[in-house]
């Protein structure tokens, strides 16, 4: 790295990017070099000239092997189909959890015609039973066992009634109402369908359980039949049946692959006329991996083609184009081979890195004195991602630096060495001039862009990290069906209730679910928690007092009389009467754990370093933001997890994350610029322009692309800042030193970077398309401001500094 000397008014301006001060790779020195006095660097030139072709040859051998490896043996296990790696690990969906969606195959028969619009679901239910038998250890009932719930509600139903139903309970226990109810019961006994109607005369002759419909959605999978026609209902087997009767959802917990589970399940339901598909993180990963392996080849080829096109335009030389295109291809292949894991977020970073290497070589062909500085800027371009909270970007930042060592460090030497092999001779760049934009206008542009960027950031909607759907159409359709007829797993918020013991955790879960109960039904579809089946100590005290006031024992005598008057045997209802009249059996957590519900409750129990916890799930309605569930002051003690929670927290912290990451990037760029130029004005001017470039990228996302902002935009903003430094450092240095540089060559260099990234738009991967838009915008804006605005800002700062020093000197006595 060479230092830049201040311009000397008495000496002729020194051209740091003179076309003749560069070696052409033939061991010849140019006329200018011969005329110049020998420097300390000159003795090293000859060994470097010999080393470059050897290094290029060695590199080419490695690159050929890498290309062969990529083309002949695509290493599929290294491909990672996960799409949730921007989300913190704790908030991601459990990869072992999957849903089997069973559909009725399209059949037509007289029987179906008789049933009108309702097709038979008997085969679906039979398929659910068959899967439960075939996968006994992996299939998990969604709903608690119906008999266990019925038994629990028989004994504790009155305690679980919310307080707002107690007036209606008192009405129903009025002797006249009891008599009427029993007459109604006797009336429907004559129906041939009474036995299958769901009227539970023995268990609940007074239909008190209908009062629980007030808490439908808040009490496990209990539904209010007449109010919730679209809600799924649990089958006797514990699966979920869609309201249209055509879909059955079976929950599976398995460490096996989704295709393996699906094959076993398909074998189990063969011949039942049922179609089966799998939805869940495992299926998404497998489909994502398959999609990645299909699309990555085309994306790489398109990118290399875009680079080659721009390189050919920039260099106007077949040999030069071949050298650089081969370097780009080889570097891409080497990186693809070297990276231990290749996911959907890796390729945009990889393409950007190789694009930077291409840009570096293109820019350096005539402007070699800035090579170490701009190379370092490129190597550090996305390193600030290491401090952001997104796991995949953190990992990407480390790989960016390691990748820079592989691509950026040998770039110049390898391309020069390749040039020697193909006898390529660099030509002097034309159109050299000193970039001198007006300082005041440049400074105004920077200030205006920063202000507008801050305004735009407030206007942009937040795009959550999980907002990009899988490109697999079949999987999308299945996910849509699951969300429409059952619930959207992405909208599920997990609440953890901690305690020292299982009973304490269950009581805490009960208290948490009471806090969240107001969400149902307007904002949430269902509260799925064992805590809904137990009452807290405070609730038990209050409800016992209220129920005692009702005088239930006397009401039961009226019931007995009413039964006898209608020709019914009171003893047949003894169990129900005993359950209603006894207030001694309370639905406390320990009783629930010891009851038939115990095995089901234990599936919601887990433990970690903080103790035992019960997992409760809130199924939010589509469009409901997580903050509505969790942002209220009273709910801050809730320990919540889930994609929506992660998105909500991310939206709240995105501004801070962005500022911190960008500030780090600006500081790094400014520091490298200062070390390179030894001019504070350049460092500050470039930092200010880089901030404006990031702001301009935000404005472009807002006004041009009508795009939101989220974690996916972060590398784009950093790239905008980095390309500002990349293009601005040579331009500003030249402006302050009043030495001409080839601005078109600099722009061509960045154009290669932009074109490579932009080629990803042609791919069939939505994440790549979005990333391409953001990265290309950032790079283009950064380069434009770096070349056409940054020199003006640097000049303004330099003049201000000079004026300040001058006035100080004038004021000095």
Q: Rounded distance, CA 352 to CA 381, Å?
A: 10
Binding mask 709-728 for other proteins (x = CB under 8 A): --------------------
Q: Rounded distance, CA 592 to CA 304, Å?
A: 64
The answer to whether residue 240 forms part of the interface with other proteins (CB under 8 A) is no
The answer to whether residue 106 forms part of the interface with other proteins (CB under 8 A) is no
- Paired tokens of 484: 């429409």
- Out of 93, 241, 429, 502, point to the residue binding other proteins (CB under 8 A): 241
- Out of 89, 117, 473, 634, point to the residue binding other proteins (CB under 8 A): 117
The answer to whether residue 806 forms part of the interface with other proteins (CB under 8 A) is no
Question: Collapsing DSSP states into helix, strand and coil, what is residue 52?
Answer: helix
With respect to other proteins, which residue has the nearer C-beta, 527 or 568? 568
Instruction: For the CB of residue 351, give the shortest distance to other proteins in the complex, in Å.
Output: 52
H/E element, 605: strand 605-608
Q: Rounded distance, CA 291 to CA 190, Å?
A: 60
With respect to other proteins, which residue has the nearer C-beta, 235 or 661? 235
The answer to whether residue 552 forms part of the interface with other proteins (CB under 8 A) is no
Q: What is the 3-state secondary structure (H, E, C) of 283-341?
A: HHHHHHHHHHHHHHHHHHHHHHHHHHHHHHHHHCCHHHHHHHHHHHHHHHHHHHHHCCC
Q: Are 494 and 565 in contact (CB under 8 A)?
A: no
Binding mask 129-158 for other proteins (x = CB under 8 A): x-----------------------------
- Out of 5, 26, 44, 115, point to the residue binding other proteins (CB under 8 A): 115
With respect to other proteins, which residue has the nearer C-beta, 128 or 330? 128
Instruction: For the CB of residue 233, give the shortest distance to other proteins in the complex, in Å.
Output: 4
Q: Rounded distance, CA 744 to CA 776, Å?
A: 18
The answer to whether residue 229 forms part of the interface with other proteins (CB under 8 A) is yes
- Out of 47, 458, 567, 813, point to the residue binding other proteins (CB under 8 A): 567
The answer to whether residue 169 forms part of the interface with other proteins (CB under 8 A) is no
Beta strands in 209-311 (DSSP E): 233-234, 240-241, 247-253, 274-279
Instruction: For the CB of residue 576, give the shortest distance to other proteins in the complex, in Å.
Output: 11
With respect to other proteins, which residue has the nearer C-beta, 89 or 196? 196
Candidates 82-90, 222-230, 411-419, 731-739 — which segment interacts with other proteins by CB under 8 A? 222-230
The answer to whether residue 236 forms part of the interface with other proteins (CB under 8 A) is yes
With respect to other proteins, which residue has the nearer C-beta, 128 or 669? 128
Closest CA to 561 of 293, 175, 99, 272: 175
The answer to whether residue 188 forms part of the interface with other proteins (CB under 8 A) is yes
Instruction: For the CB of residue 527, give the shortest distance to other proteins in the complex, in Å.
Output: 20
The answer to whether residue 193 forms part of the interface with other proteins (CB under 8 A) is yes
With respect to other proteins, which residue has the nearer C-beta, 566 or 657? 566
Candidates 30-38, 124-132, 497-505, 675-683 — which segment interacts with other proteins by CB under 8 A? 124-132
Question: Collapsing DSSP states into helix, strand and coil, what is residue 524?
Answer: strand
In order of 12, 496, 498, 513, 605, the CA distances from 611 in angstroms are: 76, 11, 6, 19, 11
- Out of 19, 81, 144, 245, point to the residue binding other proteins (CB under 8 A): 245
- Paired tokens of 612: 């035992």
The answer to whether residue 559 forms part of the interface with other proteins (CB under 8 A) is no
With respect to other proteins, which residue has the nearer C-beta, 192 or 813? 192
- Out of 131, 201, 325, 493, point to the residue binding other proteins (CB under 8 A): 201
Torsion of CA 146, 148, 150, 152, to 10 degrees: -150
Instruction: For the CB of residue 392, give the shortest distance to other proteins in the complex, in Å.
Output: 43
The answer to whether residue 165 forms part of the interface with other proteins (CB under 8 A) is no
Q: Rounded distance, CA 124 to CA 133, Å?
A: 14
Instruction: For the CB of residue 184, give the shortest distance to other proteins in the complex, in Å.
Output: 4
Q: Are 522 and 631 in contact (CB under 8 A)?
A: no
- Out of 149, 261, 283, 568, point to the residue binding other proteins (CB under 8 A): 568
With respect to other proteins, which residue has the nearer C-beta, 223 or 677? 223
- Out of 125, 279, 601, 670, point to the residue binding other proteins (CB under 8 A): 125
Instruction: For the CB of residue 142, give the shortest distance to other proteins in the complex, in Å.
Output: 14
Question: Collapsing DSSP states into helix, strand and coil, what is residue 387?
Answer: helix
The answer to whether residue 230 forms part of the interface with other proteins (CB under 8 A) is no
Chain mean position to CA 337: 26
Q: Are 792 and 443 in contact (CB under 8 A)?
A: yes
Provide the 8-state DSSP code for 389: S
The answer to whether residue 648 forms part of the interface with other proteins (CB under 8 A) is no
- Out of 126, 301, 406, 511, point to the residue binding other proteins (CB under 8 A): 126
- Out of 185, 429, 691, 713, point to the residue binding other proteins (CB under 8 A): 185
The answer to whether residue 271 forms part of the interface with other proteins (CB under 8 A) is no
- Paired tokens of 150: 């019925």
The answer to whether residue 634 forms part of the interface with other proteins (CB under 8 A) is no
Question: Collapsing DSSP states into helix, strand and coil, what is residue 277?
Answer: strand
With respect to other proteins, which residue has the nearer C-beta, 178 or 505? 178
In order of 91, 147, 289, 388, 812, the CA distances from 87 in angstroms are: 7, 39, 18, 12, 59
Enumerate residues 6+ apart whose C-beta is below 8 A from 332: 300, 303, 304, 350, 351, 354
Q: Rounded distance, CA 497 to CA 507, Å?
A: 8
Enumerate residues 6+ apart whose C-beta is below 8 A from 670: 683, 684, 686, 687, 725
Torsion of CA 400, 403, 409, 413, to 10 degrees: -140
Instruction: For the CB of residue 603, give the shortest distance to other proteins in the complex, in Å.
Output: 23
The answer to whether residue 596 forms part of the interface with other proteins (CB under 8 A) is no
Q: Residue 432's beta-bridge partner residues?
A: 742
With respect to other proteins, which residue has the nearer C-beta, 38 or 567? 567
In order of 41, 366, 413, 505, 696, the CA distances from 19 in angstroms are: 18, 6, 18, 75, 34
Question: Collapsing DSSP states into helix, strand and coil, what is residue 747?
Answer: helix
The answer to whether residue 244 forms part of the interface with other proteins (CB under 8 A) is yes
Enumerate residues 6+ apart whose C-beta is below 8 A from 174: none
Q: Position of tokens 């994350």?
A: 657
The answer to whether residue 560 forms part of the interface with other proteins (CB under 8 A) is no
Candidates 202-210, 391-399, 442-450, 554-562 — which segment interacts with other proteins by CB under 8 A? 202-210
The answer to whether residue 55 forms part of the interface with other proteins (CB under 8 A) is no
Instruction: For the CB of residue 524, give the shortest distance to other proteins in the complex, in Å.
Output: 22
Q: What's phi and psi for 233, nearest 5 deg?
A: -120, 145
- Paired tokens of 388: 């952001």
Instruction: For the CB of residue 664, give the shortest distance to other proteins in the complex, in Å.
Output: 57
Instruction: For the CB of residue 529, give the shortest distance to other proteins in the complex, in Å.
Output: 22
The answer to whether residue 78 forms part of the interface with other proteins (CB under 8 A) is no
The answer to whether residue 561 forms part of the interface with other proteins (CB under 8 A) is no
Q: CB neighbours (10 Å) of residue 545? A: 9
Candidates 136-144, 229-237, 502-510, 743-751 — which segment interacts with other proteins by CB under 8 A? 229-237
In the complex, the residues that contact other proteins under the rule CB under 8 A are 109-111, 113-118, 120-122, 125-126, 129, 180-181, 183-199, 201-202, 207, 210, 225-226, 229, 233, 235-237, 241, 243-245, 567-569, 572-573
């Amino acid at each position: 790295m060479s230092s830049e000397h201040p311009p000397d008014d008495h000496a002729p301006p020194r051209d740091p990017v003179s076309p003749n001060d560069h070696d052409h790779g033939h061991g010849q020195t140019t006329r200018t070099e011969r005329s110049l006095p020998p420097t300390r660097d000159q003795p090293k030139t000859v060994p470097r000239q010999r080393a470059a072709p050897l290094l290029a040859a060695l590199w080419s051998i490695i690159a050929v092997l890498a290309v062969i490896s990529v083309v002949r043996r695509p290493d599929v296990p290294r491909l990672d189909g996960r799409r949730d790696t921007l989300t913190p690990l704790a908030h991601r969906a459990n990869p072992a959890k999957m849903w089997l969606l069973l559909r009725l195959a399209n059949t037509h028969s007289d029987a179906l015609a008789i049933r009108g619009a309702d097709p038979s679901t008997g085969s679906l239910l039979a398929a659910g039973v068959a899967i439960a038998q075939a996968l006994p250890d992996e299939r998990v009932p969604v709903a608690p066992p119906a008999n266990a719930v019925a038994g629990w509600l028989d004994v504790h139903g009155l305690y679980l009634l919310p307080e707002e139903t107690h007036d209606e309970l008192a009405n129903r226990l009025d002797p006249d109402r009891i008599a009427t109810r029993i007459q109604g019961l006797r009336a429907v006994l004559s129906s041939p369908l009474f036995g299958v109607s769901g009227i539970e005369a023995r268990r609940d002759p007074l239909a008190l359980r209908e009062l629980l419909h007030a808490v439908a959605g808040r009490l496990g999978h209990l539904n209010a039949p007449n109010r919730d026609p679209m809600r799924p209902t649990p089958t006797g087997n514990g699966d979920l049946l869609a309201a249209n009767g055509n879909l059955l959802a079976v929950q599976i917990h398995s460490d096996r692959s989704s295709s393996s589970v699906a094959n076993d399940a398909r074998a189990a339901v063969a011949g039942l006329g049922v179609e089966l598909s799998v939805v869940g993180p495992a299926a998404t990963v497998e489909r994502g991996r398959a999609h990645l392996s299909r699309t990555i080849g085309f994306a790489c080829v398109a990118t290399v083609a875009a680079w080659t096109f721009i390189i050919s335009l920039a260099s106007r030389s077949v040999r030069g184009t071949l050298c650089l295109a081969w370097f780009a291809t080889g570097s891409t292949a080497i990186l693809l081979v070297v990276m231990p894991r290749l996911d959907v977020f890796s390729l945009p970073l990889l393409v950007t890195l190789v694009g930077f290497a291409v840009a570096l070589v293109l820019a350096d062909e005539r402007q070699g004195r800035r090579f170490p500085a701009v190379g370092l800027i490129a190597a550090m371009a996305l390193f600030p991602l290491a401090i952001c909270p997104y796991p995949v970007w953190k990992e990407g930042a480390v790989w960016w630096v390691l990748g820079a060592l592989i691509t950026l460090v040998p770039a110049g030497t390898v391309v020069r060495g390749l040039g020697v092999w193909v006898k390529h001779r660099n030509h002097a760049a034309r159109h050299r001039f000193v970039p001198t934009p007006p300082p005041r206008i440049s400074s105004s542009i920077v200030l205006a862009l920063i202000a507008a960027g801050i305004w735009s950031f407030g206007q942009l909607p937040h795009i959550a990290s999980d907002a990009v759907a899988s490109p697999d159409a079949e999987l999308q359709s299945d996910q849509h069906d699951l969300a429409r007829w059952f619930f959207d797993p992405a909208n599920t918020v997990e609440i953890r209730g901690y305690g020292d013991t299982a009973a304490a955790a269950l009581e805490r879960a009960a208290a948490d679910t009471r806090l969240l109960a107001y969400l149902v039904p307007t904002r949430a579809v269902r509260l799925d928690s064992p805590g809904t089946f137990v009452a807290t100590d405070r609730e038990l005290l209050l409800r016992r007092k209220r129920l005692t006031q009702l005088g239930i024992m006397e009401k039961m005598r009226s019931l007995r009389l009413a039964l006898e008057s209608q020709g019914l045997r009171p003893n047949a209802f003894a169990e129900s009467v005993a359950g209603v009249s006894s207030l001694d059996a309370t639905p406390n957590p320990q009783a629930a754990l010891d009851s038939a519900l115990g095995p089901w409750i234990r599936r919601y129990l887990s433990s970690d370093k903080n103790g035992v916890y019960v997992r409760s799930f809130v199924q939010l309605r589509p469009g409901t933001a997580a903050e509505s569930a969790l942002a209220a002051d009273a709910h801050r003690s809730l320990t919540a997890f889930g994609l929506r929670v992660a998105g909500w927290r991310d939206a709240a912290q995105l501004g801070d994350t962005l500022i911190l990451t960008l500030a780090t990037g600006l500081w790094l760029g400014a520091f490298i610029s200062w070390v390179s130029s030894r001019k504070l004005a350049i460092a500050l001017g470039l930092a200010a322009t880089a901030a404006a470039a990031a702001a301009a990228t935000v404005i472009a996302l807002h006004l041009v692309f009508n795009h939101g902002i989220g974690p996916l935009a972060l590398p784009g903003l950093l790239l905008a800042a980095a390309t500002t430094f990349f293009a601005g450092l040579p331009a500003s240095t030249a402006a302050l030193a009043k030495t001409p540089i080839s601005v078109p060559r600099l722009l061509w260099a960045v154009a290669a970077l932009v074109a490579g990234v932009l080629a990803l738009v042609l791919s069939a991967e939505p994440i790549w398309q979005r990333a391409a838009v953001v990265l290309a915008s950032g790079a283009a804006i950064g380069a434009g401001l770096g070349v056409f605005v940054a020199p003006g800002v640097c000049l303004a700062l330099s003049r201000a500094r000079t004026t300040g020093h001058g006035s100080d000197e004038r004021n000095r006595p």
